[in-house]
Amino acid sequence: MMYAYQYLRATVIISALLLPGTSSLAAAAITDSPGIRMLEEIQTVITDLAEQAKPSVVNLFPISAAGRPRESGADRTPSASGSGSGLIVDNEGHIVTNNHVIGDALEVEVRLSDKTKLIAQVVGKDPDTDLALLKVTVDRALPFAHFGDSSTVRVGQWVLAVGNPFGLDRTVTLGVVSGIGRENINLSRYENFIQTDASINPGNSGGPLFNLRGEVIGINTAIINFAQGIGFAIPSNMTKQIIQQLIARGKVVRGWLGVGIQPLTPELAKKFGVAEGEGVLVNEVFEKDPAAEAGIKPGDIILTIDGSVVDSPNKLSRLIGVLPPGAAPKIEVVRDFTRQVLTVPLSERRDTAVVASLPQSRTEVKLGLDLQDLSAGLAEKFKLRETRGVLITKVDPGSLAHAEGLREGDLIKEVNRADVATVGEFTSAIAKVRRGDTVLIRVLRESRAFYVVLKSTE
């Protein structure tokens, strides 16, 4: 706070003394004031940092099938490749960048700060975090950067972004951390971005975000096209984990839990006896996978993994994804309003975790469902692996069921945590619900399951 006060005080004094009519004697006096000296010290820190940081930053040009580097100043999304930035991370010539910078290229032209041009081979890529690792072979020591601990990053701290926007080599921009833990940006599967207002432009992708100690706390990955001063960086701790696996294996191997999950709406939270936003809801447990073997069940609320709070499906996927196969995290769940801790040995991740997200409940209207017992023919028609259940054959437009995302072909498996296998069982379960109460329904749609809360009617 004292620094901020002195900085502002010095700025005000300078502005006042340099107004029109200010004497040259007064202007000369201010140049040797404590405020000016402090500003110069801060400026020196930043300029020294810039000089220290720039040599480890490289310009990258993926080599096309025709053997020519692709150069582009156009804006890019994570699915498109083009020129970008990279960071030398060790004395063996490894360079980290974004996966979307190199695309499908197997070789990349690397331009160093001394204008040297080298050809890098792609060591490995991880599209799930939008990171890639390259390697150049050179007979001299290359300048490389050191990673800091991104878990200590705080909103408001100063940062320096270095990159090659629009082909302008090693451009340096100064800003602050605007936010941490940003997710649901839809840039990659595992999102935990650092948000910064340090100017990031096309060509900055893959470049570093430094703290004032000269440590890399993030790898710049994206901007929001329609906004100014909003850029995102992949945290250094995540980057280090990916680099270690790519060097060791050439690919990233992640743990697999084997559940379908969805966020908790206020209505679902109330039904399952937890606070809003506390944990995520397990809507499906895959047979013979780790969660099933450890005793996790549909309807469990996962609260923590090895003590880390789980407050979103993204967070759960990320916490499991950083663990290797064979790890056995302790998972705290709520089941029937009771907390318990299960130890779950993880297997290797296959495709994707199943995440279902439906709109929140709306106003009271009729359920608006036509139902039928599941037959073999209907199961085949709607790509269902089940042999029993209550099939939705029609959803009335404008009904609550329609508003909540239910549709023809959905298979109802539970009503208020009780299994239902026939229309008769469904009717009996609904008959026990009083008018105005909510109804918790578990639905299977093709290969995914989810829960939804409906308001009962007469």
pLDDT of 247-270, one tens digit each?
988 888 899 998 888 888 888 888
Diameter of the chain measured on Cα atoms: 96
Residues 133 and 203 in one domain: yes
Residues whose CB falls within 8 Å of the CB of residue 338, separated by 6 or more in sequence, listed in order: none
Residue 256, phi then psi, degrees to nearest 5: -130, 130
User: Does the annotation place 130 within a ligand binding site?
Assistant: yes
Roughly how many angstroms between the first and final C-alpha of the chain, as a whole number? 63
CB 329 within 8 A of CB 310: no
Q: Tell me the C-alpha distance between 418 and 356, whole Å.
A: 21
Mark whether 447 and 427 lie in a shared domain: yes
Give me the pLDDT at residue 224, please: 66
Task: Tell me which of 355, 379, 398 is where a domain ends.
Answer: 355
Would you say residue 40 lies in a domain? yes
Whether pLDDT at 239 is above 90: yes
Non-local (6+) Cβ contacts of 149 within 8 A are 215, 217, 236, 237
| C-alpha radius of gyration, the chain, whole number | 28
**Are 84 and 227 part of one and the same domain?**
yes
* Domain end residue (candidates: 228, 252, 276): 252
What residues does 171 pair with on adjacent strands?
163
| Torsion angle (degrees, nearest 10) of CA 181, 235, 225, 212 | 110
CA 206 to CA 210: how far, in whole Å? 13
Question: Residue 364 falls within a domain, yes or no?
Answer: no
Distances (CA, A) of 49 to 56, 161, 223, 242, 324: 12, 11, 24, 26, 36
Tens digit of each residue's pLDDT (9 = 90 or more) over 118-130: 999 999 999 889 9
In a domain, 233, yes or no: yes
User: Residue 352 in contact with residue 412, Cβ under 8 Å?
Assistant: no
Annotated ligand binding at 164? The verdict is: no
99 and 244 inside one domain: yes
- Domain of 379 in residue numbering reads as 369-455
Q: What angle do CA 291, 297, 301 make, to 5 degrees?
A: 95
Contact 398, 430 (CB under 8 A): no
Average pLDDT of every residue of the chain: 80
pLDDT at 147 exceeding the cut of 90:
yes
Q: Which two tokens stand for residue 268?
A: 């679902």
**How far apart, in Å, are the Cα atoms of 213 and each of 4, 49, 162, 209, 210?**
19, 8, 15, 11, 8
Q: What is the 3-state secondary structure (H, E, C) of 94-148?
A: EEEEEHHHHCCCCEEEEECCCCCEEEEEEEEEECCCCEEEEECCCCCCCCCCEEC
More confident residue, 168 or 414: 414
360 located within any domain: no
* Residue 218 confidence class, pLDDT cut points 50, 70, 90: very high
- Closest of 127, 125, 348, 129 to residue 250, by C-alpha: 125
| Phi, then psi, of 137 in degrees rounded to 5 | -110, 125
Residue 63 bridge partners (DSSP): 69
> In this structure, are 105 and 212 located in the same domain?
yes
How much of the chain, in percent, has pLDDT values that exceed 90? 30
What is the mean predicted confidence (pLDDT) over 340-362? Answer: 64
Indicate the angle between helix axes 2-17 and 34-53, nearest 10 degrees. Answer: 110
Do 416 and 323 share a domain, yes or no? no
Tell me which of 186 and 15 has the higher pLDDT.
186
Q: Does 363 reside within a domain? A: no
Calculate mean pLDDT across residues 122-139.
Answer: 92
Distance CA 238, CA 23 (A): 56
pLDDT band at 401 (very low <50, low <70, confident <90, very high): confident
Both 334 and 394 in one domain: the answer is no
- Domain assignment present for residue 46? The answer is yes
For residue 135, tell me if it sits in a domain.
Answer: yes
The pLDDT, as a whole number, for residue 363 is 30
Residue 285 to residue 252: CA distance in whole angstroms: 24
Q: How would DSSP label each residue in 422-445? A: SHHHHHHHHHTSPTT-EEEEEEEE
Say how many domains are in the chain: 4
The amino acid occupying position 341 is: V
Ramachandran quadrant class, 280 (left: phi over 0; alpha: psi -120 to 50; beta: rest): beta
With cut-offs at 50, 70 and 90, classify the pLDDT of residue 357. very low
**Secondary structure element (H or E) that encloses residue 176, with its range:** strand 171-182
- Both 45 and 116 in one domain: the answer is no
- Phi first, then psi: give them for residue 110, nearest 5 degrees: -115, 125
pLDDT band for position 154 (cuts 50, 70, 90): very high
Neighbours of 425 (CB within 10 A): 18
CATH number for 306: 2.30.42.10
Establish if 361 belongs to a structural domain. Answer: no
pLDDT at residue 329, as a whole number = 95
Tell me, yes or no, whether 124 and 197 share the same domain: yes
Take residue 117 and report the two structure tokens written for it. Answer: 């041009």
Catalytic residues: 100, 130, 205
Q: Three-state DSSP class for 340?
A: strand
Q: Specify the CATH number for the domain of residue 236.
A: 2.40.10.120
User: Do the Cβ atoms of 410 and 445 come closer than 8 Å?
Assistant: yes
Instruction: With CA atoms as reference, report the closest residue to 151 among 56, 215, 243, 245.
Output: 215
CA 214 to chain centre: 25
Only one residue has tokens 């005793």, namely 295
What is the mean pLDDT of the segment spanning 38-47?
A: 81
- 229 shares a domain with 167: yes
Give the residue-averaged pLDDT of 372-384.
Answer: 82
Per the model's pLDDT, the better-predicted residue between 65 and 445 turns out to be 445
Among 449, 450, 452, 336, smallest CA distance to 403 is for 452
> Rounded to an integer, what distance in angstroms lies between the CA atom of residue 179 and that of residue 196?
7
What pLDDT, on the 0 to 100 scale, is given for residue 209? 93
Say if strands 146-147 and 171-182 run parallel, antiparallel, or are unpaired: unpaired
Q: Are 157 and 264 in the same domain? A: no
Say yes or no to pLDDT of 280 above 80.
yes
Q: 252, 277, 311 — which closes off a domain?
A: 252
Q: In this structure, are 108 and 17 located in the same domain? A: no
How does strand 131-135 pair with strand 259-262? unpaired
